[in-house]
Amino acid sequence: MRHKHHPLAVDPFAPKRVAVYARVSTTRQAEADLSIPDQVKQAEDWCSRLGHKLVKQYIEPGASGTDDSRPVFSEMLDDAKVTPKPFDIVLVHSLSRFARDGLIYALAKRALSKSGISIQSISQPLNDDSTGEMVESIIVAFDSFTSKEIGKHTSRAMKENARQGFWNGSRPPFGYDAIEAERRGDKVKKKLAINEAEAIVVRRVFDLYRGIEGPQYGVKATASKLNGEGVTFRGKPFMISNIHRILTAETYAGRHWFNVTDTKTGATRPQAEWIAVDVPPIITRDTFELVQNQLADRAPQKIAARIVSSPTLLTGIAECAHCGAGMTLRTGKGYRYYACAGRAQKGPTRCGGCAVPMPKVDAAVLDTLASQIFAPDRLVDLVSGYLEQDKAEAHRNRTQLGQLKADLTETEGALNRLVSMVEKGLMDVDDPTLAERLKALKAKRRDLQNQIETTSTSQPAQQARLTEAKLVKLSTAMRTGLANADPDMRKAYIKLFVDKVIVSKTEIRLSGPKGVLAKAALETLPNTPGEVITFVRKWRPVGDSNPCYRRERAASWASRRTGRGRLCLPPAPAGVKPGRRR
């Protein structure tokens, strides 16, 4: 009987086309040529011995086998999908070179199998049967377990290295260099040192954001200014993310945090797992804390850019007394009013509303702030109650801190007693009870230390004292600023101390936090208010197609004088009652 020859039958002994995949885990291994040349050489010998042809090399330096986004690995899988297939076998020195994660290995093998490509190992040859598959699964599982154990020990070593104040080898933050601190055998221990050339730029970023050089700059404006001056971020233009990272990194205040982010998932770990590393500070702690508060206050989720940049003095804080809607600018033939936005958007059924002449409201608010709120005797009445509450809160914090320190002393005493019992032979080192008690006491000590640190940071170093000189200083500074500052600065000062201006046809009420007044009275006044001018409305106020500087400037000044003495509506009472302040 004659057997028919199948046209697609493949000779199992025919020479195969082989692609070798060689990998090492770290760039340091790759730079030292510790493994990749040997893997390639053994692949060449394997192909020569079996009569196969090595057609391509995929070399992956410095990539973890637990990572499924390796560039060269992904390139190899993409090449395998090409028709006709470019190779028949993917050859590796050991299966761990291909992948150290069971799921990654299984998915990649399945993708290759769909193209008729097999995986073979030089050091771990496997039969193409059920026994070979079982052995293969055991090897892959063991490689995955080994990788996790190595990662666990490596992580533990890096944490201990950080606790001792050493740098763990990643690229140092902008403003720092990693320099050799000491040697332990063949290992070089490094610490961060200030790179003065970059540190100058870091200090400048903080100064621009605080307004030390003049107007306050936002994150984007700071990046634009530095790029415009030719200042670079390690040879590249500054990006918004660079500026924000610098402003929010506690490293620059002298404390760097290690083990904050899970490198695999990108998630932030619980703060209890963070490790603090002391580094040379580039800025003061007070400067860093001030900028963090300013960043929180200026967050777009809290204050919209349109409110910051609006030319209207009370934008964002003026509210209609009838319905609670915001008061917006309404203009006519040379007239400017604060009008209820609820009525304008939804009609008179929403709110009976009111339209109050803007110059009268602005003047009344400024006059009341200067004559009633920031008068020294009035300031005493406003902040005295707040200071009493603050003093009581500080006393409670001190009491709590004292109790926490007492508990910590007791816990450390218990630990010392356990150690003493072991030294005297009263308790066996291998006693499981000893291990449990030590673990519980250490956990309690760590928790108490964290609570003490948290409570201490919220405790003022010294109770500030309200003096007549400080009240006069605040009163003089605020009256001068409200009377003589430019409109943008005046608006920012008002929003620093006033939360709401509730407007009706008969009265205007102001409200704001007493804490801000107390802080301003007890501490040094800020040089600039707490808002950033993101952009200024002064470009082409006339708006024609042939702008002229003199005409534009004249129109800009004329617009500021519009409406004086020519009000169409009946004048609204300008009496202002300073409402209860929180």
Residues 6+ apart with CB under 8 A from 98: 21, 23, 65, 90, 92, 105, 108, 119, 121
Query: Is-contact 503 354, C-beta < 8 A?
Result: yes
CA distances from 27 to 60, 169, 176, 199 (A): 10, 12, 22, 29
Query: Is-contact 472 376, C-beta < 8 A?
Result: yes
Cα(157)–Cα(168) distance, integer angstroms? 10
Cα(20)–Cα(36) distance, integer angstroms? 11
**Domain covering 17-154 assigned CATH 3.40.50.2300 in the classification:** no
H/E segment holding residue 309: helix 305-309
Cα(65)–Cα(423) distance, integer angstroms? 46
Quickly count: other Cβ atoms within 10 Å of residue 118's Cβ. Answer: 14
What CATH number labels 176-297? 3.90.1750.20
- pLDDT tens string for the chain (582 positions)? 444 444 444 455 678 999 999 988 765 554 445 578 889 999 999 999 999 999 999 998 877 777 777 899 999 999 999 989 999 999 999 998 898 888 888 889 999 999 999 999 999 988 888 888 899 889 988 888 887 888 788 888 888 888 888 988 788 999 999 998 888 888 888 999 999 999 999 999 999 998 887 777 888 889 999 999 999 999 999 999 999 999 999 999 999 999 888 877 778 888 888 999 999 999 999 999 989 988 887 666 555 554 555 557 777 788 888 888 888 888 777 678 888 887 777 677 767 777 888 888 888 888 888 777 777 766 666 666 565 666 666 777 788 888 888 888 988 888 888 888 877 777 776 777 777 888 888 888 888 888 887 777 655 544 455 566 666 777 777 777 777 766 666 776 777 678 788 888 778 888 776 666 666 655 544 444 444 433 333 444 444 445 454 555 555 445 444 433 332 333 444 444 444 444
Cα(123)–Cα(571) distance, integer angstroms? 95
CA distances from 555 to 330, 416, 571 (A): 19, 80, 27
Cα(523)–Cα(424) distance, integer angstroms? 56
Q: What tokens does 461 get?
A: 């170093």
Residues 6+ apart with CB under 8 A from 490: 313, 366, 481, 482
DSSP state of 326: B
Tokens 């900028």, residue?
A: 291
Segments making up each domain of the chain, as ranges: 17-154, 176-297, 307-361+480-578, 376-468
Residues 6+ apart with CB under 8 A from 117: 80, 85, 87, 88, 89, 90
